[in-house]
Structure 1
Protein backbone atom coordinates (compact mmCIF):
# COMPACT_ATOMS: atom_id res chain seq x y z
CA UNK A 1 0.00 0.00 0.00
CA UNK A 2 2.78 2.43 0.97
CA UNK A 3 4.72 1.55 -2.16
CA UNK A 4 1.63 2.17 -4.29
CA UNK A 5 1.07 5.60 -2.74
CA UNK A 6 4.74 6.45 -3.17
CA UNK A 7 4.54 5.46 -6.84
CA UNK A 8 1.43 7.59 -7.42
CA UNK A 9 2.92 10.67 -5.74
CA UNK A 10 6.15 10.18 -7.70
CA UNK A 11 4.20 10.26 -10.97
CA UNK A 12 2.24 13.36 -9.92
CA UNK A 13 5.43 15.17 -8.87
CA UNK A 14 7.23 14.22 -12.06
CA UNK A 15 4.39 15.37 -14.32
CA UNK A 16 3.91 18.66 -12.44
CA UNK A 17 7.65 19.37 -12.49
CA UNK A 18 7.77 18.76 -16.22
CA UNK A 19 4.95 21.25 -16.73
CA UNK A 20 6.64 24.08 -14.80
CA UNK A 21 8.22 26.71 -17.02
CA UNK A 22 9.40 29.99 -15.57
CA UNK A 23 9.07 31.95 -18.80
CA UNK A 24 8.79 31.69 -22.55
CA UNK A 25 10.68 34.56 -24.15
CA UNK A 26 9.25 34.74 -27.65
CA UNK A 27 11.41 33.74 -30.57
CA UNK A 28 10.53 36.44 -33.10
CA UNK A 29 12.29 34.52 -35.87
CA UNK A 30 9.46 31.97 -35.77
CA UNK A 31 5.80 32.52 -36.80
CA UNK A 32 3.27 33.88 -34.33
CA UNK A 33 0.52 31.35 -33.55
CA UNK A 34 -2.71 31.18 -31.51
CA UNK A 35 -0.69 30.48 -28.36
CA UNK A 36 1.84 33.22 -29.08
CA UNK A 37 5.44 32.82 -30.16
CA UNK A 38 7.46 29.67 -29.69
CA UNK A 39 9.94 29.89 -26.84
CA UNK A 40 13.45 31.13 -27.39
CA UNK A 41 16.05 28.58 -26.32
CA UNK A 42 16.80 29.14 -22.60
CA UNK A 43 20.51 29.00 -23.37
CA UNK A 44 20.10 32.13 -25.51
CA UNK A 45 18.02 34.10 -23.00
CA UNK A 46 19.78 36.98 -21.21
CA UNK A 47 18.72 39.59 -18.67
CA UNK A 48 18.31 42.08 -21.52
CA UNK A 49 15.35 40.03 -22.77
CA UNK A 50 13.44 41.04 -19.62
CA UNK A 51 14.09 44.78 -19.97
CA UNK A 52 12.29 47.18 -22.34
CA UNK A 53 13.46 50.78 -22.60
CA UNK A 54 11.09 52.10 -25.25
CA UNK A 55 8.53 53.78 -22.99
CA UNK A 56 10.72 56.63 -21.79
CA UNK A 57 10.38 58.67 -24.98
CA UNK A 58 7.25 60.54 -26.06
CA UNK A 59 5.53 59.27 -29.19
CA UNK A 60 4.91 61.35 -32.30
CA UNK A 61 1.50 63.01 -31.96
CA UNK A 62 1.66 64.99 -35.22
CA UNK A 63 -1.06 62.94 -36.89
CA UNK A 64 -4.79 62.97 -37.55
CA UNK A 65 -5.78 62.00 -34.01
CA UNK A 66 -2.95 63.89 -32.25
CA UNK A 67 -2.12 60.78 -30.27
CA UNK A 68 0.61 58.18 -30.11
CA UNK A 69 0.69 54.71 -28.58
CA UNK A 70 4.08 53.13 -27.94
CA UNK A 71 3.48 49.41 -27.33
CA UNK A 72 5.50 46.91 -25.36
CA UNK A 73 3.58 43.89 -26.59
CA UNK A 74 5.06 40.49 -27.45
CA UNK A 75 6.43 41.62 -30.85
CA UNK A 76 8.29 44.54 -29.22
CA UNK A 77 8.98 42.96 -25.81
CA UNK A 78 9.27 39.17 -26.31
CA UNK A 79 9.64 38.50 -22.58
CA UNK A 80 5.90 39.10 -22.02
CA UNK A 81 5.11 36.24 -24.41
CA UNK A 82 2.93 33.74 -22.54
CA UNK A 83 2.76 35.80 -19.34
CA UNK A 84 -0.72 37.24 -19.86
CA UNK A 85 0.27 40.89 -19.64
CA UNK A 86 1.78 43.81 -21.53
CA UNK A 87 2.10 47.58 -21.33
CA UNK A 88 2.02 50.64 -23.57
CA UNK A 89 2.64 54.37 -23.37
CA UNK A 90 -0.11 56.78 -24.44
CA UNK A 91 0.74 60.34 -25.45
CA UNK A 92 -2.09 62.76 -26.18
CA UNK A 93 -1.37 66.23 -27.51
CA UNK A 94 -3.84 69.05 -26.82
CA UNK A 95 -7.14 67.99 -28.46
CA UNK A 96 -5.69 64.50 -28.96
CA UNK A 97 -8.03 61.52 -29.03
CA UNK A 98 -7.90 57.76 -29.19
CA UNK A 99 -11.15 57.16 -31.10
CA UNK A 100 -13.71 54.55 -30.12
CA UNK A 101 -11.92 51.20 -30.29
CA UNK A 102 -11.73 47.75 -28.74
CA UNK A 103 -9.14 45.16 -27.75
CA UNK A 104 -10.52 41.68 -28.53
CA UNK A 105 -7.66 39.94 -26.75
CA UNK A 106 -7.50 41.56 -23.33
CA UNK A 107 -8.77 43.96 -20.69
CA UNK A 108 -7.05 47.32 -20.26
CA UNK A 109 -6.01 49.31 -17.21
CA UNK A 110 -5.01 52.98 -17.69
CA UNK A 111 -3.16 55.19 -15.22
CA UNK A 112 -2.81 58.91 -15.91
CA UNK A 113 0.65 60.32 -15.23
CA UNK A 114 0.29 63.84 -16.60
CA UNK A 115 -2.57 66.10 -17.69
CA UNK A 116 -6.24 65.11 -17.68
CA UNK A 117 -7.98 62.56 -19.87
CA UNK A 118 -11.68 61.97 -20.41
CA UNK A 119 -12.08 58.22 -20.81
CA UNK A 120 -14.98 55.82 -20.99
CA UNK A 121 -16.46 52.61 -22.33
CA UNK A 122 -19.82 51.27 -23.48
CA UNK A 123 -21.32 48.07 -22.07
CA UNK A 124 -22.42 45.42 -24.56
CA UNK A 125 -25.56 44.40 -22.64
CA UNK A 126 -27.48 47.69 -22.61
CA UNK A 127 -25.14 50.21 -24.32
CA UNK A 128 -24.74 52.06 -21.04
CA UNK A 129 -21.86 54.55 -21.11
CA UNK A 130 -19.35 54.79 -18.27
CA UNK A 131 -17.04 57.81 -18.59
CA UNK A 132 -15.12 60.18 -16.35
CA UNK A 133 -12.41 62.84 -16.48
CA UNK A 134 -9.22 61.40 -15.01
CA UNK A 135 -6.34 63.33 -13.47
CA UNK A 136 -2.75 62.48 -12.58
CA UNK A 137 -2.73 59.34 -10.44
CA UNK A 138 -6.23 58.22 -11.46
CA UNK A 139 -6.72 54.73 -12.86
CA UNK A 140 -9.55 53.31 -14.96
CA UNK A 141 -10.19 49.81 -16.26
CA UNK A 142 -11.77 48.87 -19.59
CA UNK A 143 -13.20 45.33 -19.82
CA UNK A 144 -12.04 43.09 -22.63
CA UNK A 145 -13.69 43.59 -26.01
CA UNK A 146 -15.78 46.65 -25.07
CA UNK A 147 -15.74 49.86 -27.09
CA UNK A 148 -13.84 52.62 -25.29
CA UNK A 149 -12.05 55.91 -25.88
CA UNK A 150 -9.60 58.43 -24.41
CA UNK A 151 -9.60 62.20 -25.06
CA UNK A 152 -7.22 64.87 -23.83
CA UNK A 153 -9.64 67.13 -21.99
CA UNK A 154 -7.07 69.65 -20.78
CA UNK A 155 -4.97 72.42 -22.28
CA UNK A 156 -1.61 70.67 -21.91
CA UNK A 157 -0.20 67.41 -23.23
CA UNK A 158 -1.37 64.29 -21.42
CA UNK A 159 0.56 61.12 -20.65
CA UNK A 160 -0.73 57.75 -19.48
CA UNK A 161 0.55 54.21 -19.21
CA UNK A 162 -1.73 51.34 -20.13
CA UNK A 163 -1.44 47.70 -19.10
CA UNK A 164 -3.24 44.78 -20.72
CA UNK A 165 -4.19 41.29 -19.58
CA UNK A 166 -2.60 39.86 -22.72
CA UNK A 167 0.80 40.03 -24.41
CA UNK A 168 -1.05 40.73 -27.68
CA UNK A 169 -4.39 42.44 -26.88
CA UNK A 170 -5.21 43.36 -30.49
CA UNK A 171 -6.81 46.59 -31.64
CA UNK A 172 -9.75 47.62 -33.81
CA UNK A 173 -10.57 51.31 -34.20
CA UNK A 174 -14.24 51.61 -35.11
CA UNK A 175 -13.94 54.62 -37.45
CA UNK A 176 -11.11 53.05 -39.46
CA UNK A 177 -12.92 49.71 -39.55
CA UNK A 178 -15.97 51.39 -41.10
CA UNK A 179 -14.42 54.05 -43.32
CA UNK A 180 -10.79 53.07 -43.85
CA UNK A 181 -11.43 50.09 -46.12
CA UNK A 182 -12.93 49.27 -49.52
CA UNK A 183 -16.42 48.32 -48.35
CA UNK A 184 -18.79 49.88 -50.92
CA UNK A 185 -20.27 53.21 -49.87
CA UNK A 186 -23.80 51.91 -50.37
CA UNK A 187 -23.26 49.13 -47.85
CA UNK A 188 -21.69 51.50 -45.36
CA UNK A 189 -24.69 53.82 -45.73
CA UNK A 190 -27.15 51.03 -45.03
CA UNK A 191 -25.24 49.67 -42.04
CA UNK A 192 -24.48 53.03 -40.39
CA UNK A 193 -27.59 55.09 -41.35
CA UNK A 194 -25.33 57.83 -42.72
CA UNK A 195 -25.94 59.50 -46.06
CA UNK A 196 -23.69 59.05 -49.10
CA UNK A 197 -21.98 62.43 -48.78
CA UNK A 198 -21.00 61.82 -45.16
CA UNK A 199 -19.70 58.31 -45.89
CA UNK A 200 -17.59 59.52 -48.79
CA UNK A 201 -16.25 62.38 -46.70
CA UNK A 202 -15.17 60.00 -43.94
CA UNK A 203 -13.67 57.57 -46.44
CA UNK A 204 -11.61 60.41 -47.92
CA UNK A 205 -10.34 61.42 -44.46
CA UNK A 206 -9.57 57.89 -43.25
CA UNK A 207 -8.18 56.42 -46.47
CA UNK A 208 -11.10 54.26 -47.56
CA UNK A 209 -12.25 53.59 -51.11
CA UNK A 210 -15.43 52.36 -52.78
Structure 2
Protein backbone atom coordinates (compact mmCIF):
# COMPACT_ATOMS: atom_id res chain seq x y z
CA UNK A 1 0.00 0.00 0.00
CA UNK A 2 2.82 2.40 0.85
CA UNK A 3 4.32 1.96 -2.62
CA UNK A 4 0.97 2.79 -4.25
CA UNK A 5 0.70 5.95 -2.14
CA UNK A 6 4.23 6.93 -3.15
CA UNK A 7 3.48 6.46 -6.85
CA UNK A 8 0.27 8.48 -6.49
CA UNK A 9 2.12 11.37 -4.82
CA UNK A 10 4.79 11.38 -7.54
CA UNK A 11 2.12 11.48 -10.25
CA UNK A 12 0.33 14.38 -8.54
CA UNK A 13 3.56 16.35 -8.21
CA UNK A 14 4.46 15.66 -11.83
CA UNK A 15 1.05 16.80 -13.07
CA UNK A 16 1.24 19.92 -10.89
CA UNK A 17 4.62 20.77 -12.42
CA UNK A 18 3.15 20.32 -15.89
CA UNK A 19 0.56 23.03 -15.21
CA UNK A 20 3.00 25.35 -13.39
CA UNK A 21 5.16 26.33 -16.36
CA UNK A 22 4.92 26.94 -20.08
CA UNK A 23 3.06 24.19 -22.01
CA UNK A 24 5.27 21.38 -23.32
CA UNK A 25 5.82 21.06 -27.05
CA UNK A 26 4.13 18.22 -28.93
CA UNK A 27 6.74 18.11 -31.69
CA UNK A 28 10.50 18.59 -32.02
CA UNK A 29 10.12 22.36 -32.26
CA UNK A 30 7.58 25.09 -32.95
CA UNK A 31 9.53 28.08 -34.25
CA UNK A 32 7.57 31.28 -33.61
CA UNK A 33 5.89 32.91 -36.59
CA UNK A 34 5.81 36.48 -35.32
CA UNK A 35 4.31 37.72 -38.59
CA UNK A 36 1.01 35.90 -38.10
CA UNK A 37 -2.22 37.79 -37.46
CA UNK A 38 -3.59 34.92 -35.34
CA UNK A 39 -3.64 35.56 -31.57
CA UNK A 40 -3.13 32.54 -29.29
CA UNK A 41 -1.74 31.86 -25.81
CA UNK A 42 1.84 31.77 -27.08
CA UNK A 43 2.99 32.12 -30.67
CA UNK A 44 1.78 30.33 -33.81
CA UNK A 45 4.26 27.84 -35.30
CA UNK A 46 6.18 28.60 -38.44
CA UNK A 47 5.81 26.07 -41.26
CA UNK A 48 8.51 23.42 -40.46
CA UNK A 49 9.48 23.37 -44.14
CA UNK A 50 10.63 26.99 -43.81
CA UNK A 51 12.63 26.56 -40.58
CA UNK A 52 16.41 26.94 -40.70
CA UNK A 53 19.34 27.12 -38.27
CA UNK A 54 19.06 30.90 -37.92
CA UNK A 55 15.71 30.41 -36.18
CA UNK A 56 17.65 28.89 -33.25
CA UNK A 57 20.51 31.43 -33.22
CA UNK A 58 21.15 34.78 -31.49
CA UNK A 59 24.39 36.75 -31.51
CA UNK A 60 25.75 39.73 -29.59
CA UNK A 61 25.60 39.00 -25.86
CA UNK A 62 29.41 39.19 -25.64
CA UNK A 63 29.39 42.98 -25.96
CA UNK A 64 28.61 45.46 -23.13
CA UNK A 65 25.33 47.36 -23.44
CA UNK A 66 24.66 51.04 -22.73
CA UNK A 67 23.99 51.75 -19.05
CA UNK A 68 23.80 55.54 -19.40
CA UNK A 69 20.38 55.99 -17.86
CA UNK A 70 18.94 57.01 -14.49
CA UNK A 71 19.24 53.46 -13.14
CA UNK A 72 22.73 52.71 -14.41
CA UNK A 73 21.72 49.30 -15.74
CA UNK A 74 20.55 47.64 -18.93
CA UNK A 75 18.68 44.37 -19.35
CA UNK A 76 19.05 42.68 -22.74
CA UNK A 77 16.54 39.84 -23.19
CA UNK A 78 16.77 36.79 -25.43
CA UNK A 79 13.25 35.40 -25.58
CA UNK A 80 10.66 34.22 -28.06
CA UNK A 81 10.37 37.75 -29.47
CA UNK A 82 13.93 37.77 -30.84
CA UNK A 83 14.91 34.08 -30.84
CA UNK A 84 11.97 32.41 -32.50
CA UNK A 85 13.17 28.85 -31.87
CA UNK A 86 12.46 29.27 -28.14
CA UNK A 87 8.72 29.02 -28.78
CA UNK A 88 7.16 26.24 -26.60
CA UNK A 89 10.54 25.37 -25.00
CA UNK A 90 9.76 27.15 -21.72
CA UNK A 91 13.08 28.97 -21.34
CA UNK A 92 14.73 32.32 -22.06
CA UNK A 93 17.61 34.40 -20.77
CA UNK A 94 18.82 37.95 -20.23
CA UNK A 95 22.15 39.74 -19.97
CA UNK A 96 22.22 42.47 -17.32
CA UNK A 97 24.87 45.21 -17.45
CA UNK A 98 25.51 47.44 -14.43
CA UNK A 99 27.48 50.66 -14.23
CA UNK A 100 29.06 51.48 -10.87
CA UNK A 101 26.19 51.82 -8.36
CA UNK A 102 23.81 50.63 -11.08
CA UNK A 103 20.48 49.13 -10.05
CA UNK A 104 18.13 46.64 -11.65
CA UNK A 105 15.16 47.97 -9.66
CA UNK A 106 12.57 45.93 -7.76
CA UNK A 107 10.49 44.02 -10.29
CA UNK A 108 8.70 40.71 -10.83
CA UNK A 109 8.44 38.13 -13.60
CA UNK A 110 4.82 36.94 -13.52
CA UNK A 111 5.52 33.79 -15.51
CA UNK A 112 9.04 32.68 -14.57
CA UNK A 113 11.57 31.72 -11.94
CA UNK A 114 14.97 33.36 -12.55
CA UNK A 115 18.42 31.92 -11.84
CA UNK A 116 21.16 34.55 -12.08
CA UNK A 117 24.91 33.95 -12.51
CA UNK A 118 27.33 36.81 -11.88
CA UNK A 119 30.10 36.92 -14.50
CA UNK A 120 31.85 40.09 -13.36
CA UNK A 121 31.71 42.49 -10.41
CA UNK A 122 29.92 42.42 -7.07
CA UNK A 123 26.15 42.58 -6.56
CA UNK A 124 23.77 42.91 -3.64
CA UNK A 125 20.68 40.91 -4.62
CA UNK A 126 17.47 39.85 -2.95
CA UNK A 127 13.80 38.99 -3.16
CA UNK A 128 10.79 39.58 -0.90
CA UNK A 129 8.23 36.90 -0.06
CA UNK A 130 4.48 37.38 -0.17
CA UNK A 131 2.73 38.51 3.04
CA UNK A 132 4.15 38.59 5.60
CA UNK A 133 7.04 40.11 3.60
CA UNK A 134 10.50 38.73 4.34
CA UNK A 135 13.71 39.70 2.57
CA UNK A 136 16.16 37.03 1.40
CA UNK A 137 19.39 38.69 0.24
CA UNK A 138 23.03 37.91 -0.51
CA UNK A 139 26.17 39.61 -1.75
CA UNK A 140 27.34 37.90 -4.95
CA UNK A 141 30.87 37.72 -6.31
CA UNK A 142 32.06 36.47 -9.68
CA UNK A 143 30.79 32.94 -10.33
CA UNK A 144 28.04 33.06 -7.69
CA UNK A 145 24.47 32.01 -8.49
CA UNK A 146 21.17 33.16 -6.92
CA UNK A 147 17.56 32.10 -7.55
CA UNK A 148 14.53 34.43 -7.59
CA UNK A 149 11.27 32.43 -7.26
CA UNK A 150 8.51 32.99 -9.80
CA UNK A 151 6.38 36.10 -9.28
CA UNK A 152 8.28 37.51 -6.29
CA UNK A 153 9.69 41.05 -6.19
CA UNK A 154 13.48 41.04 -6.58
CA UNK A 155 16.38 43.38 -7.37
CA UNK A 156 20.14 43.60 -8.04
CA UNK A 157 22.48 46.47 -7.05
CA UNK A 158 26.10 46.90 -8.11
CA UNK A 159 28.08 47.50 -4.91
CA UNK A 160 31.52 46.90 -6.43
CA UNK A 161 34.16 49.29 -7.74
CA UNK A 162 33.76 48.22 -11.37
CA UNK A 163 31.03 47.53 -13.87
CA UNK A 164 29.16 44.27 -13.30
CA UNK A 165 27.71 41.74 -15.76
CA UNK A 166 25.27 38.91 -15.09
CA UNK A 167 23.45 36.31 -17.16
CA UNK A 168 20.07 35.05 -15.97
CA UNK A 169 17.99 32.13 -17.22
CA UNK A 170 14.19 32.24 -16.86
CA UNK A 171 11.70 29.38 -16.91
CA UNK A 172 9.44 30.83 -19.61
CA UNK A 173 9.83 31.69 -23.27
CA UNK A 174 8.22 35.06 -22.46
CA UNK A 175 8.54 35.68 -18.68
CA UNK A 176 7.20 39.24 -18.66
CA UNK A 177 8.41 41.96 -16.30
CA UNK A 178 6.59 44.34 -13.95
CA UNK A 179 8.85 47.08 -12.56
CA UNK A 180 7.28 48.09 -9.24
CA UNK A 181 8.02 51.83 -9.25
CA UNK A 182 7.08 52.22 -12.93
CA UNK A 183 3.85 50.26 -12.54
CA UNK A 184 2.66 52.04 -9.39
CA UNK A 185 3.84 55.61 -10.04
CA UNK A 186 4.22 55.81 -13.81
CA UNK A 187 1.19 53.94 -15.16
CA UNK A 188 -1.02 55.39 -17.87
CA UNK A 189 -3.67 56.36 -16.98
CA UNK A 190 -2.28 57.13 -13.53
CA UNK A 191 -3.49 55.46 -10.35
CA UNK A 192 -5.58 57.97 -8.40
CA UNK A 193 -3.67 59.95 -5.75
CA UNK A 194 -5.96 58.95 -2.89
CA UNK A 195 -5.20 55.28 -3.55
CA UNK A 196 -1.46 55.88 -3.35
CA UNK A 197 -1.73 58.26 -0.38
CA UNK A 198 -3.48 55.60 1.66
CA UNK A 199 -1.35 52.71 0.40
CA UNK A 200 1.97 54.42 1.22
CA UNK A 201 0.67 56.49 4.17
CA UNK A 202 1.99 59.78 2.71
CA UNK A 203 0.32 63.05 1.76
CA UNK A 204 -0.67 64.18 -1.72
CA UNK A 205 2.41 66.38 -2.18
CA UNK A 206 4.70 63.37 -1.86
CA UNK A 207 2.59 61.37 -4.29
CA UNK A 208 2.54 64.21 -6.82
CA UNK A 209 6.30 64.65 -6.51
CA UNK A 210 6.95 60.96 -7.12
CA UNK A 211 4.58 60.88 -10.08
CA UNK A 212 6.38 63.86 -11.61
CA UNK A 213 9.68 61.98 -11.85
CA UNK A 214 10.87 60.47 -15.11
CA UNK A 215 10.42 56.75 -14.59
CA UNK A 216 13.07 54.71 -16.37
CA UNK A 217 12.77 51.10 -17.42
CA UNK A 218 16.12 49.32 -17.92
CA UNK A 219 14.47 46.37 -19.69
1:63 to 55, 65, 69: 69
Match of 1:7 in 2: none
| Kept after mapping to 2: 8 A contact 1:60/1:68 | yes
Q: CA deviation at 1:57?
A: 2.2
Match of 1:13 in 2: none
List per-residue Cα deviations over 1:73-127 (Å, max 9, x = no partner). 1101111111000011000111110111100011001000000111100111431
Which structure 1 segments of 5+ residues have no match? 1-18
Number of residue pairs the alignment of both structures matches: 189
Which structure 2 segments of 5+ residues have no match? 1-24
How large is the Cα RMSD of the aligned pairs? 1.5
Match of 2:56 in 1: 50
Match of 1:158 in 2: 164
Q: How far apart, in 2, do the equivalents of 1:97 and 1:32 lie?
A: 38
1:203 to 190, 208, 211: 211
Question: What TM-score, normalized by structure 2, do the two folds share?
Answer: 0.82
Q: How far apart, in 2, do the equivalents of 1:91 and 1:191 lie?
A: 33
Gap change, CA 1:33 and 1:126, over 3 Å in 2: farther
Match of 2:202 in 1: 194
Gap change, CA 1:53 and 1:121, over 3 Å in 2: same
| Kept after mapping to 2: 8 A contact 1:86/1:163 | yes
Match of 1:100 in 2: 106
Q: Describe the SS at the equivalent of 1:201.
A: helix
Question: What TM-score, normalized by structure 1, do the two folds share?
Answer: 0.85
| Range with bigger deviation, 30-39 or 108-117 | 30-39
Q: How far apart, in 2, do the equivalents of 1:162 and 1:32 lie?
A: 31
Gap change, CA 1:40 and 1:121, over 3 Å in 2: same
Q: How far apart, in 2, do the equivalents of 1:20 and 1:172 lie?
A: 30
Q: How far apart, in 2, do the equivalents of 1:34 and 1:123 lie?
A: 32
Higher-Rg structure is 1
Q: How far apart, in 1, do the equivalents of 2:171 and 2:124 lie?
A: 22
List per-residue Cα deviations over 1:132-181 (Å, max 9, x = no partner). 01011000010000010000011110000011000100100111111102
Q: CA deviation at 1:56?
A: 2.0
| Kept after mapping to 2: 8 A contact 1:176/1:206 | no
Q: Describe the SS at the equivalent of 1:48.
A: helix
